[in-house]
A and B are shown apart, each in its own frame.
Chain A
Amino acid sequence: MKVKMDFVSNSSSTSFVYIARDMLSKQDFMAAVGVSANSPVASLFEDMFHELKERIERGETLTSVEDIDSLKSQERFTSEVIDRMKKALEQGQTVTIGSFSSENNLAEMTLCTEIFEIESERFFINAYENYW
């Protein structure tokens, strides 16, 4: 069990988008972030994978351009990312938006507070809103 031992101020939640044909796999995630399985910090990224997968599963799947255009959180994504979401739908990919919280554990706090984009042949994740 992972325990947060101290008070962490300025809690926040931030948005991300996951675009892919399939659900994220650990192997793909580890390869895309650039960390080896034998890395001494591999467990941190494995935890991030599990958090991310859970957040994708709990996320909102967008199935049409109208869904994207009517997003309340649209301002949380850049115009390039919005265009990419629409193009992904045309190509038959799944577009899921979700959120990270800084409240829960180290892995999710890190995902919540980093500005990042991860791209591989199999998936695309954008979390540019995560300024801190």
Chain B
Amino acid sequence: MSDRDLILPTSHIPSVEEFLDALHIKPAGFAAQLFRAVYDQFFSWSKDLRVEYERYYCVEYPTFANYLELAHEIYLEPAELGKVYILKVKSPGGVMDEAYNDNVRNTVIDCIRKLEDGHEG
């Protein structure tokens, strides 16, 4: 796995409307244009490693944790491993680019976590 890739374990994939609403962004306009692209990076263009494992690698690797560790060098806590989706986001860019110290990656992840908590609660 590239150092720039992001792993997001989550049990809820929000709709794009829910995502924008949580960020207090109106559904049309320049802010929505930017953050629809952020949504796509997380939820449209990411790869769900659990699906990958179950579809292609469950014979080769005895457990999902084993697959993550050996094939991707990803080490998750049991609580994270229990999430429905283990999303691998390839080199998040744009406003989430870690080359800039004021990137909004963590802000967006916090927002996704809150949506997940709200969905579970």
Q: Give residues in A with beta carbon < 8 Å to B.
A: 2-8, 32-36, 38-45, 47, 105-106, 109-110, 113-114, 116, 118
Complex alpha-carbon distance, A114 and B100, angstroms: 17
Residues of A within 8 A of B39 (CB): none
The reply to whether B28 and A34 form a contact with Cβ atoms under 8 Å apart is yes
The reply to whether A106 and B102 form a contact with Cβ atoms under 8 Å apart is yes
Selected from A40, A105, A106, A113, the residue in CB contact (under 8 A) with B24 is A40
The reply to whether B23 and A40 form a contact with Cβ atoms under 8 Å apart is yes
Residues of B within 8 A of A45 (CB): 31
Residues of A within 8 A of B110 (CB): 40
The reply to whether B100 and A34 form a contact with Cβ atoms under 8 Å apart is no
Q: Give residues in B with beta carbon < 8 Å to A.
A: 23-35, 94-95, 97-104, 107-108, 110-111
Residues of A within 8 A of B99 (CB): 4-8
Residues of A within 8 A of B29 (CB): 32-35, 118
A-B CB proximity, top 10 nearest: A34-B29, A34-B26, A6-B99, A39-B24, A106-B100, A36-B24, A35-B31, A33-B30, A33-B31, A34-B31
The reply to whether A44 and B104 form a contact with Cβ atoms under 8 Å apart is yes
Complex alpha-carbon distance, A40 and B94, angstroms: 17
Complex alpha-carbon distance, A119 and B112, angstroms: 30
The reply to whether B25 and A34 form a contact with Cβ atoms under 8 Å apart is yes
Residues of A within 8 A of B24 (CB): 35-36, 38-40, 42
A9 to chain B, nearest CB (A): 10
User: Known contacts A38-B24, A40-B110: does B100 contact A2 (CB below 8 Å)?
Assistant: yes
Q: Kindly report which residue of chain B lies nearest to residue A117, judged by CB atoms.
A: B30
A111 to chain B, nearest CB (A): 10
